[in-house]
A and B are shown apart, each in its own frame.
Chain A
C-alpha cells in the first residue's frame, strides 16, 4: 500500500540533544513538508521541499534542519537550538502534476517530548 511512514511514533529528548525524525513516502510525490502541531495552534510549516537536493524554510524553521537526498525521504533534525521542541510533528507529501489543487497526504506523526 502507498503511503507515508514516520518513525519513531514517540521520541524523548534530553536537554542539549539533537534528534532526527524520519519521514518516508512511496507515493512518488515530488513535494514533502514538515509541520509542527501544538494544541490550539493548528499546523505550522517548518520546512518544505519541492525536489531532491532543494528545500525552503517555512514559518518556524529556527532550530530545525532537513535534508532531501532522495525523493522518498525527508528527515527532520530538531537541534539543541530549538528551545521548546515538545510537540507533535507531522510529515506530508504532495504530487505536483495537478498544481496546487493536489492534496497533501499526511503521515501518522511523531510525538516529541523533552525530558
Chain B
C-alpha cells in the first residue's frame, strides 16, 4: 500500500526566504511522486512530478523537489518566496493501478 505524509499543516516564511515543504512517502514498489498547488476555491495544478528519470526535478514557478530513496522523501523547495506563492500544496504518490494518494496538504503563508 502507498501513503504520503506531509510534515506541517502550516508553514510561514518571509518574502525572499527559502521555502521548504516536507513530504515523506511509503510505497512497496518504485513510486511516482507529484507536487500540486491549490489556490483558494480552485482546483489543483501540477507543479512537478518525479518519474525516475532524474532525482532532482524542476517545476513551474521556480519550485524544485529532490527524490531521496534512502530517506523516502520528496521535499519541495524554492530559493526565494514570493507573495504569490501563498497557497496550499499537496504531495501525492502513484504506484500502480489508477489511483493517486494525496497527502493532507501544507498551507504556505508568505509574510511581507
Residues in chain B near residue A90, CB distance under 8 A: 43-44
Q: At the interface, is chain B mostly helix, strand, loop or mixed?
A: loop
The reply to whether the CB of A75 lies closer than 8 angstroms to some CB of chain B is no
Chain A residues near B51: list those with CB within 8 A: 101
Distance of A48 Cα from B94 Cα, bound (Å):
15
What are the interface flags for A83-109 relative to B under an 8 Å C-beta threshold, 1 for contact and 0 otherwise? Answer: 000001010101010001101111111
Instruction: Count chain B residues whose beta carbon lies closer than 8 angstroms to a beta carbon of A.
Output: 24
Residues in A neighbouring B42, C-beta threshold 8 A: 108-109
> A2 within 8 Å of B by Cβ?
no
Q: Is B41 an interface residue (CB 8 A)?
A: yes
Q: Which of A6, A31, A42, A96 is within 8 Å of B104, CB to CB?
A: A42
> Which single member of B49, B94, B98, B103 contacts A42 (CB below 8 Å)?
B103
B57 within 8 A of A: no
Interface string of B76-98 (1 = CB under 8 A from A): 00000000000000100011111
A residues in contact with B32, CB < 8 Å? 100-101
Are A109 and B103 CB-contacts (below 8 A) given A42-B90, A100-B94?
no
With A41-B104, A100-B94: A108-B99 Cβ-Cβ less than 8 Å: no
- Report yes or no: A43 in contact with B43, Cβ–Cβ below 8 A: no
Chain A residue contacts of B102, Cβ below 8 A: 35, 42-43
Kindly state whether residue A45 has any CB partner on chain B within 8 Å. Answer: yes
- Can you show 25 pairs from A to B with CB atoms below 8 A apart? A6-B43, A40-B9, A40-B105, A42-B90, A42-B102, A43-B90, A43-B102, A48-B99, A50-B98, A88-B41, A90-B44, A100-B32, A100-B96, A100-B98, A101-B32, A101-B94, A103-B34, A103-B46, A103-B49, A104-B100, A105-B46, A106-B36, A106-B44, A108-B43, A109-B42
Identify the B interface with A (CB < 8 A).
9, 32, 34, 36, 41-46, 49, 51, 90, 94-100, 102-105
